[in-house]
Chains A and B, each alone.
Chain A
Amino acid sequence: MLFSSLTFLFFFLPILLILYYIAKEKYKNVILCIASFLFYAWGEPKYIVLMMVSIIVNYIIALFIDKFKNQRMKKKGLLILAIVFNIFMLFVFKYANFLIDIVNSLFHLRLASLELALPIGISFYTFQILSYVIDVYRGEVGVQKNIITLGTYISLFPQLIAGPIVRYSTIEEQLKKRDHSLEKFTSGLKRFVIGLGKKVIIANNMALIADTIFNSAHVTEYGFLILLSAILSYTFQIYFDFSGYSDMAIGLGKMFGFDFLENFNYPYISESITDFWRRWHISLSTWFRDYVYIPLGGNRCSKLRWLFNLFVVWFLTGLWHGASWNFIIWGLYFFVLLLIEKLFLKKFLDRLPGIIRWCYAFLFINLGWLIFRVENVQNLFTLFSNLFSLKKGDLWMDIAHNYYLLNYVFYIPIAFLCSFPIVKWMDHKMSSEFGKKILSNIGLLVLFVLCILYLINNSYNPFIYFRF
């Protein structure tokens, strides 16, 4: 089930809100847990069992880690068991076929692929579970003895499918007792509506341009202008899709009394790649920092070791996003850029005007998204070549054959503007609380209605056979 679906807006959420708020405090987690399982089973009826098994196994391991907290070897063994179990599950469903392809091409074999669909959200909830077990091991959080409460944390539907990756420590206390106030609820609902707008109105329409061009059999024949449109569209698609989802998750969390940490902080205003990664998918980068980079030694080691640590983190960051070479290349692309910035470029950039720094960052971010989007590595090289050679192509032919996409091109400047903190700026400029409230409430209401209209419109599906 998607948040941006009529089923969620008209069926799941209203019923859940009613049940949640009429239930007594002690039953609220049970209701959320059941609702979250139903939410997951709605899209993945078979794989709900996988998630439940994951919860049970990690629940038991964490209990034993806590039991043996003073027996270092046993504790460590259990942690390794948890890590191996979780990574193995992730590996089987997400990476096994990738490895099989590599082995087949290296050794000219014909090993059969596994016929397994990728369970939705497995990357997110696996990392969430791992963070819980590791934090129990480190003694940073208390073990959760109530399996329903742990199940609620792991399966919590607002962030189950697409993050943010919520650390157990963030909501440990909130799972026991949380604040339900009308102000918090309203603030959450408003945040949800903003996220819905980002997803339905901007991201979905940017996707139409990006997907049409990148999925075309003639993608390598397009000229510079068409390619640029596709890259920009994808840049905004991925941001508004992902941050929209995070907004909805954070908003929904608030509606049920939870406070999640922010996951995006206007990444496209970044003036360096270092800055970008402090603003983009914050929950993932901090996860890798705390559970991979720092345990490996971070930067408190020799320079060579530090290089290795950075390499591992960015290799894994790329790999986490997808089982394909382009994702690994994407991760390592940022490894190289970040290294260059750390070594000398940052000092040089700091002397330049902000607009130049922004242009530099925005250019390399966009190039990164091109790598991320194009899974065919051969095509990727051709597209880079077309881009840098400013390939002319047949512009009129390209426009004619994609003419209808011009209906969506106007979303690009809107997306560009919305990727800046305009609302915050307007908030500063306006002094009247009353005026701000009217504007924001009416604006959000209109946005919500527009989203419903877009969702209904998107279901337009004419049938060409005349059966009646």
Chain B
Amino acid sequence: MRIVDFYKRLKKDSLKMMDAFFLFSIFFIMGIGFLTIFLEPKDKSSLENRGLKKFSLPTISTFFNGQFQDNLESAYADQFPYSRKIKSVMGNVLNFMDYRSIPEKICQNRYVAINEDHAIFNCADTILQLPIDAELYKDNIANHLSYYNELNALADTYYYVLERSNAYNFEEGKLAIDVYDILSKNLKGNYHIAKFDHNTFEEVKKYFYKGDHHWNLYGSYLGYLEIMKMLKPSDTPLVPTGIVTVKGQPFVGSNAKETKQWDISEPFQYYTFSLPEHVVYVEGKLQNYGNYEIKSNNVPYFNYYSKVYGNDVSEIMYDFNQDEKENLMILASSYSNPINRLIASHFNQTFVVDMRFYNKINFEEYVKAHHITKILVLASTEVVAYEDFNRAEVE
């Protein structure tokens, strides 16, 4: 073979080989994706604070209602090797606009949107949820008011209104949804009402987490004090015995996770208290609730709020074995988690009900069965306005 022919043949072969390499690489990647089905499935993602979707076989009904298809797509994304790492790296790379460096001219006294639902305000590195449109929640509010009025007739009912940042429009300097006013005007019968009236932006920074929608240890303790003033003004409230600052990974809260601003974080702190002896039943089972032994943690994106204060469940019962005292029911969301046990220490038995997971409750039967004489509704914005807290029809 002549050198020129050999060179042409070599060139043609190497062009073919490059195409072969290209094909092999694409199929290799597709193969990794395909074989994801057979890998040991991952359960949870602390980055996204949720259970991860797993592959499951279709049934006729799940195929026809699209559930199988949605689940398969989500399972591929969730179970793909290094998916958590991919999401965190891509999140950092693609959200490169550092809102904290924008000129004061733009961010002063303004919301700067960092996604469609969240913003920073007045150049501070605290993530807020954007104010909600009260009109959109009218039907849900009506649903909730109907069972609040039922509660008012069953026991001595107390409403503690907690207007979150999304209830307030800091730009316009007014409430976007005035829960206190809605309740005051629409509640019937006997009830008491007070509110967490610390809604200036400076107070929001003081009493709520930078990157989470919940109140922090100062906010929740202040709430506890104000609630007890309403519930049992003669009782001496508990005083913290100390503060624990968890060493290791900081607290990256819900707002930070939703906006992928994972660097908006802070060390997690909680108060310690000396509580009387008590037992806790979580959804009827005797077990511990929360973990006040956490002193250090190296797991990134750790859900401190739920790990320390307890998860969201349908019902928790605190039994302080103080028969001379009343029984209390608390209707709340995760906002009550840090203070459930503190409030419960002033009562005999306390039943904490979360309507998101216990929405077919028959209040009359429940109150009678548990001898409840006082009811506390921790009326945070979502408890009053969101569909999740609607009561389902009781059969």
Binding site for B on A (CB under 8 A): 1, 5-7, 9-11, 13-15, 42-43, 45-46, 182-183, 185-186, 189-190, 193, 212, 396-397, 399-404, 406-407, 433-434, 437-438, 441, 444-445, 448-449, 452-468
Contacts and interface: CB of A to CB of B under 8 A. Distances in A.
Nearest to A183: B19
Contacts of B74: 459
Contact of B48 (A13, A406, A463): A463
A445 B90 contact: no
B97 interface: yes
Interface string B249-261: 0000010011010
Given A6-B76, A407-B96, A437 B15 contact: yes
Contact of B33 (A407, A452, A453, A466): A452
What 4 A-B pairs have minimum CB-CB distances, sorted nearest first? A10-B33, A466-B306, A459-B77, A457-B90
Interface in B306-348: 306, 311-312, 334
Contacts of A462: 47-50, 254, 257-258
A399 B64 CA distance: 43
A467 B49 CA distance: 8
B21 interface: yes
B49 A404 contact: no
A455 B116 CA distance: 20
Given A5-B73, A441-B19, A465-B334, A403 B114 contact: yes
A464 B14 contact: no
Interface string B7-24: 000010011001101110
A308 to B, nearest CB: 45
B48 A460 contact: yes
Interface stretch (B78-86, B224-232, B373-381): B78-86
Nearest to A454: B90
Interface of B: 11, 14-15, 18-19, 21-23, 25-27, 29-31, 33-34, 36-37, 44, 47-51, 63-64, 66, 69, 72-74, 76-78, 80, 83, 86-87, 90-91, 94-97, 99, 102, 105-107, 110-116, 119, 213, 254, 257-258, 260, 303, 305-306, 311-312, 334, 356
Given A433-B15, A437-B15, A460-B87, A465 B312 contact: yes
A401 B91 CA distance: 20
A95 B51 CA distance: 42
B102 to A, nearest CB: 7
Given A6-B73, A403-B113, A466-B334, A11 B34 contact: yes
A441 B14 CA distance: 13
A456 B33 CA distance: 11
Contacts of A15: 34
Contacts of A468: 44, 51, 303, 306, 311
Contact of B69 (A10, A43, A433, A452): A43
Contacts of B114: 403-404
A194 B192 CA distance: 65
B22 A456 contact: no
Given A14-B31, A462-B258, A465-B334, A448 B311 contact: no
A457 B311 contact: no
Contacts of A401: 110-113, 119
A362 B2 CA distance: 55
B interface SS class: helix
Contact of A466 (B15, B31, B311): B311
A62 B359 CA distance: 58
Contacts of A1: 69
Contacts of A438: 18
A403 B34 contact: no
A441 B22 contact: yes
Given A403-B99, A407-B95, A467-B306, 5 more contacts: A403-B113, A445-B25, A448-B29, A466-B311, A468-B306
Given A434-B15, A453-B90, A464 B77 contact: no
A448 B50 CA distance: 28
Nearest to B130: A401
Contacts of B78: 459
30 contacts: A7-B69, A10-B76, A14-B31, A43-B66, A45-B64, A189-B22, A189-B26, A190-B22, A396-B106, A400-B111, A400-B112, A401-B119, A402-B113, A403-B112, A404-B113, A407-B95, A434-B11, A437-B15, A441-B21, A444-B22, A448-B26, A456-B77, A456-B90, A460-B48, A463-B49, A467-B50, A467-B306, A468-B44, A468-B303, A468-B306
Contacts of B115: 404
Most buried by A among B14, B31, B73, B356: B73
A454 B80 CA distance: 13
Contacts of B69: 1, 7, 42-43
Contacts of B356: 465
Contacts of A464: 49, 213, 254, 258
A444 B19 CA distance: 11
Nearest to B334: A466
B72 A11 contact: yes
B90 A186 contact: no
A10 B73 CA distance: 10
Contacts of A402: 113
Contacts of A441: 18-19, 21-22
B133 to A, nearest CB: 9
B22 A396 contact: no
A400 B113 contact: yes
Contacts of A449: 29
B264 to A, nearest CB: 14
A400 B94 CA distance: 18
A464 B18 CA distance: 48
